Amino acid sequence: MKLIVGLGNPGAKYARNRHNIGFMAVERIAADHDFGPWKAKFQGSISEGRFGSDRAVLLRPETFMNRSSDSVAAALQFFKLEPSDVIVLHDELDLAPGKVKAKMGGGHAGHNGLRSIHGHLGPEYGRVRIGIGHPGHKDRVSGYVLSDFAKAEAEWLEDVLRGISDGAPWLAVGDNAKFMNAVALRTAPPRPSTGIKAPADAPKDSAPPQAEDARGPLQKLMDRFR
């Protein structure tokens, strides 16, 4: 069994903040995989369900970000789980918008939610880092993460949340490679072959017509950050 934790801040005014992308991700997983209704528990809210035969509990800590561990530790104790059974989904400033990475263990990189969880669990838990980009200067970070996603970001954000939801069953069995593949199929699907050829009677030095750019908005954005 896995405890999948989405980090965020409680309350309607924070609901669409960049800092709340972890909340958004677990909410999408619950909806897409027919998990049970959200219930108040462990100083947060939980939704229980299964990916096939694999049981999982989704948790949204509602203690505010810097006390996320109060909720996570309570759930961990109740379900008699180990830190390695926990997967935390959170926003990541050091990744380009829409870029996703999964790993086990590591530092907290100054993230208040992870810092709190580190204090109770140590570093050996799983995490899914969801890129939101960096505002460019450390003095702007607080305002940036607590601001809403722009309307222009809606399409790539939807693709990322769908990809994470598609890959959630693989997270539940600890297969990060297949999880990342599921995310990639949503965010950077294979580009179709254009199938365009030059006419038979065209001069040898003439080029075939240029195909329309098949990249989606997320792929275009990510390419800018490379």
Question: Tell me: the pLDDT tens digits for 134-191?
Answer: 999 999 999 999 999 999 999 999 999 999 999 999 999 999 999 999 999 999 887 7
Q: What percent of the chain has pLDDT over 70?
A: 84
Q: What is the pLDDT of residue 158?
A: 97
Q: How many CB atoms lie within 10 A of CB 16?
A: 15
Phi/psi of residue 188, nearest 5 degrees: -145, 65
Q: How many CB atoms lie within 10 A of CB 105?
A: 12
Give the pLDDT band of residue 218 (cuts 50, 70, 90).
Answer: low
Helix, coil or strand: residue 157: helix
CB-side neighbour CA atoms (13 Å) of 84: 2
Question: Token match 């989606």: residue?
Answer: 216
- Tell me the Cα Rg of the chain: 20
Q: Is 19 a catalytic residue?
A: yes
HEC assignment per residue over 112-166: HHHHHHHHHHCCCCEEEEEECCCCCCHHHHHHHHCCECCHHHHHHHHHHHHHHHH
Domain at 2-187: CATH code: 3.40.50.1470
Whole-number Å distance between alpha carbons of 74 and 88:
15
Please identify which of the residues 19, 33, 90, 111 carries the catalytic annotation. 19
Q: What is the pLDDT of residue 204?
A: 47
User: Which stretches of 80-153 are DSSP H helices?
Assistant: 112-121, 141-145
Q: What is the pLDDT of residue 208?
A: 41
162 by Cβ neighbours in 10 Å (0-12 / 13-18 / 19+) ranks as: middle
Whole-number Å distance between alpha carbons of 36 and 28:
13
